Amino acid sequence: MSDAKAKGKGGEKSDVSDYDAYFELVQSRKKLSPSLQEKLTAAFSRIPVSSFPQVPRGKVIEIQADTTISDAVKILSESNILSAPVKHPDAVDSTDWKERYLGILDYSTIVLWVLETADLAAAALTATSATAAGIGAGAATTLGAVALGATGPVAAAGLTVAAVGAAVAGGVAADKGMGKDAPTAADELGEDFYKIILHEEPFKSTQVKSIVKSYRWAPYIPVSTDSSMLSVLLLLSKYRLRNVPVIEPGNPMIKNFITQSAVVQGLEQCKGRDWFDTISVHPITELGLPFVSKDKVVSSQSDELILEAFKKMKDNQIGGLPVVEGPTKKIVGNLSIKDIRFLLLKQKLFTNFRKLTVKDFMNTIAATSEENKKITSPITCKLGSTLGEVISTLASKCVHRIYVVGDGNDVIGIITLRDVISCFITEPPNYIMEVHGTTVKELLSNEKSRNSG
């Protein structure tokens, strides 16, 4: 996923032409012979998706649509995965993949929900005095969403201000925040605010099915086992999908789950093969990298609030950003969208979260274990690095982006998994990708219509 800025409602791309623009830029900057690129593209077009290695343990982890958000986060975290398909509990006998699965739940979806939910809960605290004073549920509902801004995806998720106000009035230390502005109320509630988010209704019982469509960043587009790997690579690069489910023709069950990370891991294992070595030996600059240049880098200062950092990811539709310090923007850390799990699973981090800085957040994570310390450490390379070196680092460190730094350790570019995959393929002229009888562009257009409707 590119870390360039994006446009569009709910974080999704606004136009199919944006995908074409990215891919045209990539192709125009690569200094590779046309014949080599054509041979590679032709080779990938002959490789069936069924030949791609299976997910660990050979079974795709799925999440039931009626699973609560907190339980879903635990599943993702304990399984060490970023995303999982969401299965519709009422369509177990359906042979139509569109009915059987609601979509993909990932950390970006959860980030969007957390940010809006946190604002909603904070706003509800200001309404508590009115609720406690005897304003009925009907009146609160009439005033609620409009007065406190609970519109759009929040309303779709069924999170009403009236319900939150009732929960607060029901005994969650409402008097501490009564009558104050929402942010102040949230700060003073501390642990009680955390309880509202994850331990009180309606948040406690909010289910995955309530948010998976309203908050998702990318459409759900599966491929068949007899599709070509070229189609998968185009979906993961040009069309910006981070994962592609694989299903058998006539069978809606997901048989495999191909991610950007898995593809780059696979490329790393191709060392020693002529076609790979011919490309990977090139310095990244000869391949046009980094595609995300210095002026397009979205970063976070270490003294910024952690919620502001996650909001930047949401607004720019990116999966991570560098943490920098000072006017020279020297890189000191890395923040990933996956790190939202710490806010959801570690109550001490979430308490008083509106005053928590990025630096304090990273330090707290790093202090919990040596493994978590690695999470916040920035992974970098230089302009003189080769593509092979970048791939080795991405694969061995299991990260989704590498920061290109200058002599002063300032960030001058970003290389993502999407960018690396794009280096190995081109799109043949008049190439039409179909997903079970429907073209990818039609699916993307339908997704755009759904979001604007």
pLDDT by 10-residue block (mean), the chain, 453 residues: 36 60 90 88 93 88 91 88 88 77 86 72 52 36 35 41 43 40 49 60 79 74 91 93 88 90 94 92 95 94 92 89 94 91 70 81 84 83 97 94 96 96 92 77 69 50
**Residues 339 and 408 reside in one and the same domain:** yes
Q: 306-357 pLDDT, tens per residue?
A: 888 988 998 888 999 999 999 999 999 999 988 888 877 776 666 666 788 9
**Residues 88 and 192 reside in one and the same domain:** yes
What is the spatial distance between Cα 144 and Cα 174, in angstroms, rounded to a whole number? 18
Backbone angles phi and psi of 212, in degrees to 5 = -65, -30
The verdict on residue 140 lying in a domain is no
| pLDDT score of 191 | 57
Range of the domain at 197: 60-128+188-217
Domain count, the chain: 2
Three-state DSSP class for residue 273: coil
- How would you list the strands of the sheet with 83-87, edge to edge? 63-64, 83-87, 101-106
89, two tokens: 């509990």
The verdict on residue 241 lying in a domain is no
Closest listed residue to residue 228, CA positions, set 51, 433, 52, 49: 49
What is the spatial distance between Cα 301 and Cα 324, in angstroms, rounded to a whole number? 5
Which stretches of 200-346 are DSSP H helices? 229-236, 260-268, 274-280, 306-316, 340-345
Question: In sequence order, what DSSP letters do the residues of 26-89 get, joined into one string?
Answer: HHHH--S-HHHHHHHHHHHHHSBGGGSPPPGGGS---EETTSBHHHHHHHHHHHT-SEEEEE-T
The verdict on residue 26 lying in a domain is no
What is the spatial distance between Cα 437 and Cα 27, in angstroms, rounded to a whole number? 28
**Residues 288 and 388 reside in one and the same domain:** yes
Three-state DSSP class for residue 200: coil
| pLDDT score of 302 | 96
Q: 27-68 pLDDT, tens per residue?
A: 899 888 888 889 999 999 999 999 999 988 788 999 999 999
How buried is residue 301: exposed, middle or buried, by Cβ count under 10 Å (0-12/13-18/19+)? middle
**Boundary of a domain, candidates 200, 217, 234:** 217
Angle at which helix 161-169 crosses helix 191-199, to 10 degrees, equals 130
CB atoms within 10 A of CB 51: 8
The verdict on residue 412 lying in a domain is yes
The CATH number given to whatever domain includes residue 203 is: 3.90.1280.20
| pLDDT score of 343 | 75
| pLDDT score of 56 | 81
| pLDDT score of 266 | 94
The verdict on residue 451 lying in a domain is no
**Residues 277 and 406 reside in one and the same domain:** yes
For 31, residues 6+ apart whose C-beta sits below 8 A from its C-beta are 282, 286, 287, 288
